[in-house]
Amino acid sequence: MSGSVEMEVQSDDSPMPAAPKSWMRNAMERSGPFCLPDFDHRPGALHSVLGQIQVLVVGAGGLGCELLKDLALMGFSQLHVIDMDTIDLSNLNRQFLFRRNDIGRSKAEVAANFINKRIPGVNVTPHFCKIQDKDEDFYRQFHVVVCGLDSVPARRWMNGMLHSLIEYDDDNTPIAGTNIPLVDGGTEGLKGNARVILTGISACIECTLGLYPPQVTYPLCTIANTPRLPEHCIEYVKIIQWPKENPYQCEIDGDDPAHLCWIHEKSVERASHFGITGVDYKLVQGVVKNIIPAVASTNASIAAVCANEVFKLATGVCKPLNDYVVLNQSDGVYTFAFANEKREDCLVCGRKANILNIKEDAKLEELISKLCQDDGARMKNPGLTTNVNGKQMTLYIATVPSIERQTRPNLKKTLTELGLVNGAEIVVADETSPMSMTFKLNFN
């Protein structure tokens, strides 16, 4: 395990020695019953492999800092890290690559500089941007992708991107080298999990959405037109009213009391207009910041598991995890591993047509709600287009204000009123996936 590497405690600015490799050589220079068929145990193979493998770490937060440290100390020298966030004060208690004078700077850049300075021979390349800002060619260069994210939609997007890169042969089997493995870790308080996804082969993120707790998200058409909960009012101010009025000429800072007070005031006004009660400052803070509890020891444990799986995938020294492990430290320490079943009708990795069962007299807003439900596709703000009588038709797009206004009347129309028939195909785009998905309607 990566946690077995011993480090001498040093001052912040002193370089760390190269990671000891004796334990790794013991594992790498002899074969064993759990090695993969292509395992190379010749002397010197370890250094060659770890020096050539390109690894992408997604996220430079609590898990990401641990992952970068573990992978660098294991000998991986070609690392990339991507993160869109900047450092704030609340990060410093567990994201140990950052210091107080780093507040306001890019997490990816600071983390990369720290590792490059402290561990000789390691080259970490930072990318200060959203994962959605990178194209297919960027992700295609990596041999393994390891995620330390706190967002299910971001996981789903990355899962969709890696599956979109797969090329299949005539037997519908992924062509070797085009299916990039995904190692995913997640923590919440004293609980954590890790998994290995052999893209195109094993169950993917989309196959197992039921493993994740329901996401507190609301369709944009609901919060814009028919709010029913205090959270709807807060989300409206956060997503629509803030960008429109731009009160402080900047993006929302969840740690700035002035920003939170403005959102609270506007949310109360909107709630009053729709007769909704229950909007208070604490609720506003929770919705805006989407606070997830974090414990440093849980991050360290899950990152160690993920780094160990990356090492196994890169070297073939042992079969990778099959395919999910949970850790619970709430009452003692408990861990359990199991295999998820691949869904043939999965929206991402399944090779079958996506069927959407719905009533013939259902309204378009009901169809959108179905796509967003926990037992559906769990989308956030889907945009829908179709083809009616040979003409392209936009049914509803919530994320573009001008189109949203034009297509809003469609929400109250039935599917038949919109010209849709049984078997009609609807193309759906959503921020949870880099790919648009095609659904075939089945009236029941």
- In this prediction, residue 70 carries a pLDDT of 95
Which pair of tokens denotes residue 386?
């179709």
Catalytic annotation, residues: 221
Residues 354 and 428: their CA atoms lie apart, in Å, by 11
**354, 438 in Cβ contact below 8 A?**
yes
pTM: 0.77
Architecture category of domain 2-213+293-338 in CATH: 3-Layer(aba) Sandwich (3.40)
- In this prediction, residue 20 carries a pLDDT of 40
| Of 38-42, 186-190, 312-316, the least confident | 38-42
Kindly state the percentage of the chain with pLDDT values over 90: 50
Q: Is the bond preceding 323 in cis, omega lying within 30 degrees of 0? A: yes
- In this prediction, residue 30 carries a pLDDT of 76
How confident is the model over 138-154, as pLDDT tens digits? 999 999 999 999 888 89
Q: Which residues touch 135 (CB under 8 Å, ≥6 apart)?
A: none
Q: Name the band, by pLDDT with cuts 50, 70 and 90, for residue 4.
A: very low
Q: Distance between terminal CA atoms of the chain?
A: 53
How confident is the model over 254-301, as pLDDT tens digits? 778 899 999 999 999 999 999 999 999 888 887 887 766 678 899 999
Residues 246 and 226: their CA atoms lie apart, in Å, by 24
Q: What is each CA distance from 180 to 83, 137, 177, in whole angstroms?
A: 20, 13, 7
How confident is the model over 178-190, as pLDDT tens digits? 999 999 999 988 9
The CATH classification number of 354-443 equals 3.10.290.20
Architecture category of domain 220-289 in CATH: Orthogonal Bundle (1.10)
- In this prediction, residue 344 carries a pLDDT of 83
Residue 13: CB atoms within 10 Å: 7
Domain extent listing, the chain: 2-213+293-338, 220-289, 354-443
Q: Is the pLDDT of residue 245 over 80?
A: yes
How confident is the model over 405-435, as pLDDT tens digits? 899 999 999 999 998 999 899 999 998 899 8
